[in-house]
Amino acid sequence: MTRKSIFILFFLCVFVFNSSKRHTRLDWDVFGYYLYLPAQFIYDDIHLEKKEVWLNPIIEKYHTTEGFYQAYKGPKDKLVMKYTMGLSFVYAPFFFVADFMAMLFHFDRDGFSPPYQWMMMLCALFFSLLGIYYLFKILSLYFSETIVFATIALLVFGSNYFVMTAYDGLMPHNFIFTFFAIMLYNTIKWYEVQKLKYAITIGFCIGISVLIRPTSAVVVIIPLLWKVWSLDSMRARIKLFIHKFYHLFVIGGVAFLVILPQLIYWKSVSGQWLFYSYPGEKIQLSKPHLLNVLFSYKKGWLLYTPLMCFAIWGFVSLFKKHRELFLPVFIFFIVNTYLVSCWDCWWYGGSFAQRPFVESYVFMAFPLAAFIHYLSLKKQLVVITALVLSLVIIHLNLFQTHQAENGILHTTLTTKEYYWRVFLKGEATEEDKRWLEPAQYADGKDALNLSLKYDKVYSSNLSLNESSALLNAGTAFSKSITVTANLGYDVQDNYLITSVMADTNTANTSSDITAHLVTVINKDGKLYKYRSRDFNYSDIKNTKAPIDLSVLIPPQANNKNYEILSYVYIDGDKKMKLLNLTATVLKAVK
């Protein structure tokens, strides 16, 4: 049995074991990518016009999502799918087999019963193995079998490729990885001999990758610049493109035909051929989050996938030994990294490490392999040290994957303090969890721990005069009380209690008023935590005590980089007269 066979067999066992522990694989974002198939082929409702009839019961039965964020009302007052339909194309063959099995073996033909779950698991596994197979073939053209085996073993088990295949294999990254690998292999073959079948395959892989995630369009850098490394090679490339222009036309045409169904769908539901389907989320090219994306404790790529430090280092070796491969891979790495950092939700939701980099590992495998080859030529002590370090990286990756999947290492709220408190720990205590970054937005109070006693350590009243006390359409926001977070005390179990009282005389306060008591915690001038409580005239009139809002002060907020503000604002063209606004800090007595 070859090393390749042993590796694939082991990966297969790991994949099946981890996937079998999932109750459902068709949930959250995957639910949105998959939804096109049952909507069209089972319920004949691609526009989700009969959502209440079939979709709501599916969500309730299979717990596929909390809050239906996978579609929203567009400009024609029709529901528009948030996610593009690329993955539904990839899922489709397995879906149709599952649909036949459901009818044959008398399972519910609803798109989510066990046959559909089983076949989707097989779909993810098939594409995982296909991607690894093609990467083996590609790297074997440039490196020895030992180097190739070590490179792929490290990529799979030492990076977040593992979590995005063995645990979350139905997410886009597993599939785009595979299509990138197939595209690269056919690119290499096309430059050897310009056959039309290679051009068609390249066009299809680019098209389906873009249809899965539009930002995948950055991959065109690779086929355009493959083996370009000098001005002479660039001139030769331009001549080749001119000579084989119709092949480029075929590549673009095939890619367009793959994307065309999405354009038709957008036109039918929105009236527009091109429609931006991510409301509230966008790429801001002028506002990259490079340092956070690469190094932050919240979701730093190089912190949670340190293996990529060696891949980046390996660009030096790649330049020296395979200069013809260096330029396209390096340019792709720079452009892709910048593009990833420009998404305003730069941590990309609840996933371990930076998932949008996973598909790029097809190309990062080259500098990593070059680095491994460079180390293999060193003295035995260096080789042994590198081997030990590799095992440490794999262990850390697998252990932190376990932590993330079991809620120990939080995938969106980890801070520096919390990271080190749970580092290599099998559980997180309540004391540890106090060091998590707070959920940024939430309505209502942070519940006061009534099992503890509290001392008042700080209090401040907003100074009000006749003018500042009155809120109306022109002045909807009150002045703020500023609480200095750096108060010099232990902030564990400390709360800020903000209280407001208002005049109940309807001459000063509208009887149909809606108001909000707010506390905001800013870090370095940016929003860190927001809590609010709504109240109305009845609350003011019927409650003798002030309206209050309790907010837990995060322990990390006890330094000068944090600012705590409390204020009141009202809705619409109403009015309200404030009588008092107070902020009090309570310290737990241990």
393 shares a domain with 451:
no
Question: Tokens at residue 179, please?
Answer: 């299509």
d(CA 138, CA 190): 13
Q: Are β-strands 547-552 and 526-536 bridged in parallel, bridged antiparallel, or unpaired?
A: unpaired
Could you tell me the pTM of the whole model? 0.84
Residue 441: pLDDT band with limits 50, 70, 90? low
pLDDT of 486 strictly over 60? no
> pLDDT class for 499, splitting at 50, 70, 90?
confident
Examine the pLDDT at 503 and tell me if it is beyond 90. no
Rounded-to-integer distance, Cα 568 and Cα 535, Å: 10
CB neighbours of 153 closer than 8 A, spacing ≥ 6?
Answer: 7
Over its C-alpha atoms, the chain yields an Rg (Å, rounded) of 28
> Do residue 78 and residue 146 come from a single domain?
yes
Residue 426 lies in a domain: no
CATH number, position 491: 2.60.120
User: How many domains is the chain built from?
Assistant: 2
On whether both 29 and 77 belong to a single domain, the answer is: yes
Residues 90, 234: one domain?
Answer: yes
DSSP 8-state assignment for residue 447: P
Same domain as 463, residue 537: yes
Q: With bands split at pLDDT 50, 70 and 90, how would you rate the model's confidence at 260?
A: very high
pLDDT at 19 over 70: no
Note whether 383 and 456 are same-domain residues: no
Task: Report CA 404 to chain centroid distance, whole Å.
Answer: 14
CA 12 remoteness from chain centre: 25
Domain annotation covers residue 433: no
| Mean pLDDT of the 263-269 span | 96
Q: How far apart are CA 155 and CA 368, in angstroms?
A: 9
Mean pLDDT of 408-415: 92
**Does 80 score more than 70 pLDDT?**
yes
Average pLDDT of the residues in 412-422: 93
Is pLDDT at 451 greater than 70 in this prediction? no
Residue 545: CB atoms within 10 Å: 7
Q: Domain of 186?
A: 3-404
Would residue 422 count as lying in a domain? no
- Are 95 and 148 members of one domain? yes
- Number of Cα atoms under 13 Å in the Cβ half of residue 314: 24
User: Are 399 and 448 found together in one domain?
Assistant: no
